Structure 1
Amino acid sequence: MKHNILWGIILLVASLSFTAKAQKAVQGQFSVKGVLLDSLSNEGEPYSTIRISLKNNPAKPVKLAVTGADGRFDERLAVPGTYLIHFTSVGKSPVQKEFSISANRRNVDLGKILIAEATEMLKGVEVVAQKPLVKAEIDKVTYSIEDDPDSKTNTTLEMLRKVPLVTVDGEDKIQVNGSSKFKVHVNGKPNNMMSNNPTEVLRSMPANSIKSIEVITEPGAKYDAEGVAGILNIITIGAGMEGYTVTLNGGASNMRVYGGGYGTVQSGKFTVTGNYSYNYQGSQKGFEDSYREDFTSQENKFLESHRRSKSYGNFQFGSLEGSYEIDTLNLISFSMNLMTGNFTNKRIGNTQMTNHAGNPVYGYGSLGNNESGFGEVGGNMDYQHSFKKKGELLTFSYRFSHSPNNSEANTDYEDTLNVPYLLQNQYFKNDASTQEHTAQLDYTNPINSIHSIETGIKYIFRRSKSDGKYYLADKTGEYKYDQDMSTQYDHKQDILAAYFGYQLKYKKLGGKAGIRYEHTFMDADYKNKDEKFDAQFDDLVPSLMFSYQLAPTQSLRASYNMRISRPGIWFLNPFTDTSNTTAISYGNRDLESEKAHSLSVTFGSFSQKFNVNVSANYSFVNNG
């Protein structure tokens, strides 16, 4: 009986596996294509909205897209069936076609489809518009995640591959405007957790919790002056009705297992949204081999090294957001987030030196183990007051974050043979953390439809602590504390900032100018070396931008931008490090901020299928 049950389970698992593979093989292999032409000129109808739905459920589209500049379209569909494809264009009568795809007819070519001018006299007009997925503005490009049907099943990281000016490579590494130096904001507020671990966090977030993603390539005066290539601003969705929604997700691969959930609850004026995800990730074994031949020596002729390594770890992410509408003019919102993670790397190595005849001269083996833990806990509290004039806002916000970052490593040597230099087993442990308090007051006033201004002040208090202890083993194997190699410091930083910005919008022309001032106080205390120092910085950061809208999805921009980079404590610390007598080092406490100036002219064209962004840039750096 037990054997029958066991065989039944095996057959059931095998059949489910076969079904899943068969389904996966079918999905994504269907397509429909054609070209939409103007009925009079017989020219391609550009950027016409395409809406594809199943015939038995026409109200719910399975695909939203636009035709290309020449009117052509080629769309992929997931499952077979009978579909309706609907075309709409400004000033034209809508066109609808029916088609079917099946296992025997996977690719459908609708050929030429004509769309005519709308000349009908109507008693009443019902306007039905489909929002464009991509919108280009003066200083940013916005991708509407909620209007893309793929967001119902994908993660935010997967949707990010569609966002213009953002690239996600095969290893899920993210770049904005060609650089990995970018910041992540959520609803306009900086989010250190996402900025430090964007891939892991965005992979954990379901895309149906996101309204849109803004790519800000030219940060203006409102944003921190510390140099970044751009900002990803993620706009989340609040609940739109009474009740609750819950979404669960999960998956597995040969290197990763993950799962999580997202939920929203709304009752009257109170809204709460929560998100949690857990990831476990492990890598395949890595191998590294190196060979070196010394042509100046016959004795130490060949050096050969072999290393093997493997790493694994887990990552957890959770967030909670809420808001309460006091009345039509006052809104309170809050958010909390928690992230923890730890990774382990183990490695084994072997090194051997041989002479010209291949005989061993010296050699040794090594064993290494590195463990690191990181995380962040933080919270936001915002109060927003709206004035009677639409768009006029006064916002006060406070943000706190605490980020522990601990590591532990040891290296042991074995099977040593005639090694001519000292090899000592070593152990290192570092307990570090950063706390940050931020208070900010912002005011926005759209004076009229053409002119608007924004201004604000900001204060940041940041404190970083690190206690790094280094131990070396003596000849007896006993570990002893090494004062010179160890570092224990307390680093405080106060930043006071104020900004003013002006924006112009007149027909297709846009302009934006701003100025930001930042004053920085810095104190550092190296407790184990009895060394203290301080520094101050004054930075004035201007920005200027002009744009011209060539078409709804095409723009031409010219801009000047300046970003700063403050010297870190390692560059400022005047303590003379003599632990290595052949490389004595010390810092300069009189260093000032690095100022990077950038001039650029950019042409952007964005559509559903094809995105082009061409830039001519000139940049120079003062006090690099």
Structure 2
Amino acid sequence: MLNLRRVYPIILTILLIFPLFLLAQQQPSGKNAVTGTVKDEGGKPVPYATLGILKEDGTQAGAAYSGEDGTFQIKIAETGSYVLVISSVGFNTTPFPFVLTTEKRSHHFTGIQLPASTSQLKAVDIVSRKQLIEQKPGMLVYNAENDISNKGGTAADVLRKAPALNVDPQGNVTMRGSGSLKILINGKYSGQIARSPADALNMMPADIIRSVEIITNPSAKYDAEGAAGVINIITKQGKQNLSGALEVTASNWEQAFNPRISMARDKWNMSFHGHLHRLRSKSSNSLERTSLKDGQPQLKLQQYTLKDNVMPHSSAELNIGYTPNQRNEFSFGVNAWLGNWPENTDQTSTLLSPDGTVTDKYNQSVNTTAKFKGADFSLGYTTKFKKSGQELTLLAQFSPSTDRSSYTTDQFGSGQKLRYRELNKSHTANQEWTFQADYNHPLDANGKYLLESGLKSILRSANNTYNVWASEDAQPENTLPQPDRSDIFVYQQNVMAGYTLLKMNLSEAWYVEAGARGEGTWLNGHFRTAGTRFENNFFNFVPTATITRKLPKDQTLTLSYTKRITRPYIWDLNPNANASDPRNIVTGNPQLQPELVHQGELTYSLNHSNGLFINTSLFFKQTQDGIIDFTTTDQQGISTTSKQNLAGNRQFGTNISISFKVTPEWSVNSNQNINYLRYNSGPLLTVNNGWGADVNVNTTYKLPADFSVQLFGEVTSRSITLQGYKTSRYYYSAAVKKAFPANRMMVTLAAINPFNSSIGQIEVMNTSSFASSVNNRYFSQAAKLTFNWEFGKMFEQKDKKKISNDDVNTLPKG
């Protein structure tokens, strides 16, 4: 049970980074400038609306996005007659004619109001107009709903195609080579993601995902947790009348059923989506490890392990909104999940002496259960003041969850005679409370200066009870309690934070954003049986800054800096050792400390009116006390892997995203990441460095009769770790879609790795005490058929403020 009295008080001093004279009223020159504010019919600002200015002959003279407060400013090179065309999801595209003369070389629009869309647009029309990759302020956006090969897939498949990201066969996500990142759903924390990002992404259907926001350098408004950056998955949510969809998918590896529905009436709106999924996962690995002493080989271990598991699971999310008037909005949401994610294995182990003589050989069978369930309950309230852009948001969330896992290990010697048995049962209960307040305050009447500030508290508690039984040599069928490996681990983590962020449109070409965040953290835990305790309290000051320069011809240059931290979570600290394979033990580390990262980024982007999109980033990161997986071996050749703070690292590199149309029917987009990583460990006297890269290409061709064809391929190069390296790997797929616009139906047939029964990757580790090589094989060859039917009005988006606990370490599972 969470003890609120253990929360420590903290006073956070909110600092402004720039001198106060920058707040002075600085009016634009107004020369050849078109300005205004985009609002909906209720008078609310419309952020990120697409604005284009057309000449009389139909050619484009300028383009821009509206700001968060709906304001815009576009520079026009010549006088003449023009038309301002404004479009945004959920609104009708609306033209506004105007004239610039030598006497009046600027124009300010007053009272722009976009009418809500009422027509039922065909889905194929939406796909044809919207780019797959877009740039918005502070982020890249991957419009996943326009990618036909995502049909019938999971969130892991979606992120695999997003810019700057890389996803391995298990669903572990990395950004620029780092797995220390935050994954949010609609801007809010998810206990399901925090438990295991890879598992959660494989449980989330691609059909509910509208887009993915990739934020490589988060501002002070975001929690400081997540060294690599933030990923925000935006789901489809409706607000008009009754609408919904049904999706059914089947393949040789999985079967899924995904319903979603939304409705609105008067001041109420509701959306619901569900997910039923049966997933089969199969992999194998061949391990060869040699123990060393003074550089000489001692004991060699050879293992072959096969995993073949079926993982049934389900999830559902319900969101309800109530808007009594134009200034106030209430929201309530529930996201619940449950399932079983076992890791049953069959293994053969052989031990050899230095001269090659077999000293031991046995088979092992491991039966596991990994049942879990949890939920997020959230409440939100937003009030808008009379001053445009001034608003207050209050948010609260409660996230309880439980995990019940166990394994039974049986070892068999010659003649399949039982020689050892071990049982491990673990029950973990988690509770988390989050309270958050955010306030936006315009500092001038023109919306040039906006001050954002907020406070947040996150109160976490976890209780893990684990018990181990093991047999003795004389009676392997009988197991006895192991008191030295059984205990109750109680853990608490409380975070108090505050931030201030100043956004400044200094001119039509310059935008500056500067802020600071303070976070206080209190960690404590104890073992009830052993009586040992630990605690760690620390404070982090997190400055952030961004400077953007708009260049001619739809170009932008951005320079940004931020500081990030990664805190350990219960799964990293839990000392309950997984010894289901007694030659390879995995355990937590209660003494783990947080890691700190300084990172800077220079970005150039081009978003041309002809559809050409280019985004290029140069980045640098310096990591202190990095949290890494570290493996050691003892004199018997038994390895133990846990997370440690044993090495810092430096990393620099570039990532490039490009999207263009070869013809009106043929589009191509590609992402490339290249980085250099250098590990340096003083305690281990170890240095390891090297280059890494990955590239993917995604292309779509639209055929007659509402057919579309899509091809996707990805290659990841050799990458280094502190103790070794991983070899290259690849992934490819093809999809054909047939749309039936009149019936709003879609059928998609996809082939995944059709020419390879499995995909391999080798992991090598070389240390002073051992040398090992693991050849992993992942069986993913699949043919997938998906049927999708939409009914009612097309889904129209409505942004809501949500809790975003992006401060919990979600490193990939080892």
Q: Same fold (TM over 0.5)?
A: yes
Shift of the alpha carbon at 1:323? 0.3
* Secondary structure of residue in 1 paired with 2:192: helix
C-alpha displacement of 1:182: 2.4
Q: CA deviation at 1:187?
A: 3.5
Pick closer, same or farther for the CA change 1:453–1:144 going to 2, 3 Å. farther
In the other structure, the counterpart of 2:183 is 184
Partner residue, 1:376: 374
Distance 1:93 1:206 in 2: 45
How far residue 408 of structure 1 moved from its aligned partner, in angstroms, is 0.8
| Partner AA of 2:597 in structure 1 | A
Per-residue CA deviation, residues 490-515 of structure 1 (Å, 9 max, x unaligned), is 11122111111111123222211111
Q: Deviations over 1:3-59 (max 9, x none)?
A: xxxxxxxxxxxxxxxxxxxxxxxxxxxxxxxxxxxxxxxxxxxxxxxxxxxxxxxxx
Question: Among residues 428, 432, 456, which one is paired with 1:432 in the alignment?
Answer: 428
Q: Paired residue for 2:695?
A: none
Checking the alignment, whether the CA contact within 8 Å between 1:238 and 1:271 is kept in structure 2 is: no
- CA shift, 1:328, in A, is 1.0
2:278 aligned residue: 280
Which residue number corresponds to residue 222 of structure 1?
Answer: 221
Q: Which residue of 2 aligns with 1:536?
A: 537
Deviations 1:583-609 (A, max 9, x none): 9x99897x9754322223222345756
- Assess, with a 3 A threshold, how the Cα gap between structure 1 residues 212 and 516 changes in structure 2: closer, same or farther: same
Is the CA contact (8 Å cut-off) linking 1:369 and 1:410 kept in structure 2?
yes
Equivalent position SS for 2:483:
coil
Matches within 5 A, 1:140-219: 140-143=139-142, 148=146, 157=155, 160=159, 163-168=162-167, 173-194=172-193, 196=195, 212-219=211-218
2-structure distance, mates of 1:565, 1:288: 33
Matches within 5 A, 1:399-418: 399-416=397-414
Question: In the alignment, what sits opposite 1:40?
Answer: none
CA distance in 2, matches of 1:588, 1:399: 27
The match for 1:491 is 491
Amino acid at match of 2:485: M
Q: CA deviation at 1:461?
A: 0.9
Q: 1:91 to 1:482 in 2, by over 3 A?
A: same
Instruction: Indicate the SS of the match to 2:233.
Output: strand
Match for residue 715 of structure 2?
none
The offset of 1:516, in angstroms, is: 1.1
Amino acid at match of 1:497: A
- CA contact 1:138–1:510 (8 Å) conserved in 2: no
SS of match in other structure, 2:485: coil
* 3-state SS of paired residue (2:400): strand
- Quote the residue 1:451 is aligned against: 449
8 Å Cα contact 1:276/1:317 also seen in 2: yes
Distance 1:463 1:620 in 2: 28
Alignment of 1:120-139 (within 5 A): 126=95, 134-139=133-138
Contact 1:524 1:569 in 2 (8 A): no
- Structure 1 residue 151 displacement after superposition: 10
| Structure 1 residues 127 and 338, CA gap change in structure 2 (3 angstroms) | same
Pairwise mapping of residues 24-173 of structure 1 onto structure 2 (< 5 A)? Answer: 90-91=54-55, 93-94=57-58, 126=95, 134-143=133-142, 148=146, 157=155, 160=159, 163-168=162-167, 173=172
- Could you tell me how far 1:427 is from its partner in structure 2? 1.2
C-alpha distance after superposition, 1:437-488 (max 9, x if no partner): 0011110113232211111111111001111111111222321111212232
Change (3 A) 1:429 1:330: same
Question: For residue 273 of structure 2, what is the amino acid of its counterpart?
Answer: N
Query: Who is 1:442 aligned against?
Result: 438
Measure, in 1, the Cα distance between the counterparts of 2:369 and 2:492: 27
1:252 to 2:250 alignment:
yes
Cα–Cα, structure 1 residues 538 and 286, in superposed 2: closer, same or farther, change >3 Å? closer
Give the superposition deviation at 1:263: 0.3
Match of 1:38 in 2: none
**CA distance, structure 1, for counterparts of residue 420 and residue 154 of structure 2:** 47
Counterpart of 1:502 in structure 2: which amino acid? L
Q: Report which stretch shifted further, 191-200 or 408-417.
A: 191-200
User: Matched residue pairs, number?
Assistant: 500
How far 1:145 sits from its partner (Å)? 5.9
SS across alignment from 1:529: coil
Contact 1:519 1:537 in 2 (8 A): yes
Which entry has the higher C-alpha Rg, 1 or 2? 1
When structure 1 is superposed on structure 2, of 346-355 and 512-521 the one drifting more is: 346-355
Answering whether residue 488 of structure 2 is matched by residue 500 of structure 1, we say: no
Preserved contact between residue 559 and residue 602 of structure 2 (Cα < 8 Å): yes
Conserved? CA contact 1:537–1:593, under 8 Å: no
8 Å contact kept, 2:345–2:366: yes
Q: Deviations over 1:281-320 (max 9, x none)?
A: 1134636365879999xxx998654433322211211100
TM normalised by structure 1 equals 0.69
Q: Once the two structures are aligned, what percentage of the paired residues are identical?
A: 25
Cα distance between partner residues in 1 of 2:572 and 2:239 = 51
Contact 1:284 1:310 in 2 (8 A): yes
Q: Does 1:619 align with 2:622?
A: yes
Amino acid aligned to 2:502: Y
CA distance in 2 between counterparts of 1:340 and 1:586 reads 24
Q: Which residue of the partner structure matches residue 563 of structure 2?
A: 562
Conservation of the 8 A alpha-carbon contact between 1:392 and 1:445 = yes
Instruction: Indicate if the aligned counterparts of 1:182 and 1:195 stay in contact, CA closer than 8 A.
Output: no
Deviates more, 1:266-275 or 1:130-139: 130-139
Q: Give the partner amino acid of 1:482.
A: Q
C-alpha spacing 1:404/1:552, structure 2 compared with 1 (3 Å): farther
Partner of residue 334 from structure 1, selected from 332, 335, 352: 332
SS of aligned partner of 1:391 = coil
Find the residue that maps to 2:413 and give its secondary structure: strand
In structure 2, what is the equivalent of residue 241 of structure 1?
240
Are the equivalent residues in 2 in contact too, given 1:605–1:613 (CA < 8 A)?
A: no
Instruction: State how far apart, in whole Å, the 2-side matches of 1:593 and 1:295 are.
Output: 33
Q: 1:530 to 1:358 in 2, by over 3 A?
A: closer
Whichever residue aligns with residue 499 of structure 1, its letter is: Y
Query: Aligned partner of 1:389: which letter?
Result: K
**Relative to structure 1, is the Cα distance of residues 619 and 259 closer, same or farther in structure 2, using a 3 angstrom cutoff?**
same
- Secondary structure at the aligned position of 2:469 is classed as strand
- Check 1:471–1:552 CA distance in 2 against 1; reply closer, same or farther (3 A cut): farther
CA distance in 1, matches of 2:391, 2:218: 20
Deviation of 1:430 (Å): 0.9
Shift of the 416–501 alpha-carbon distance from structure 1 to 2, 3 Å rule, reads same
Where in structure 1 are there 5+ consecutive unaligned residues?
A: 1-65, 67-87, 96-116, 575-579
Q: Deviations over 1:406-459 (max 9, x none)?
A: 221121122259x9xx97421111111221000111101132322111111111
Structure 1: distance between partners of 2:95 and 2:220: 42
Q: CA RMSD in A?
A: 4.4
Distance in 1 of aligned mates of 2:350 and 2:286: 15
Amino acid at match of 1:215: I
User: Which one of 461, 464, 474 corresponds to residue 466 of structure 1?
Assistant: 464
Give 1:353 deviation, angstroms.
5.0
Letter in 2 for 1:93: D
Aligned equivalents of 1:439 and 1:554: distance in 2?
40
Q: Deviations over 1:178-215 (max 9, x none)?
A: 54332222343223324555566667667675554322
C-alpha distance in structure 1 between counterparts of 2:574 and 2:275, whole Å: 41
| Secondary structure at the counterpart of residue 283 of structure 1 | strand
Matching residue of 2:481: 481
Q: Distance in 2 between the 1:366 and 1:559 partners?
A: 53
Rate the CA distance shift 1:187–1:287 in 2: closer, same or farther, 3 A. closer
* Aligned amino acid, residue 490 of structure 2: D
User: Which residue pairs with 2:385 in the alignment?
Assistant: 387
Q: Separation in 2 of the partners of 1:287 and 1:571?
A: 24
- Residue by residue over 1:227-258, the C-alpha shift from the partner in whole angstroms, topping out at 9 and shown as x without a partner, is 3322222344543423x112000111111111
Between 1 and 2, higher relative CO (CA 8 Å, sep ≥ 6) is seen in 2
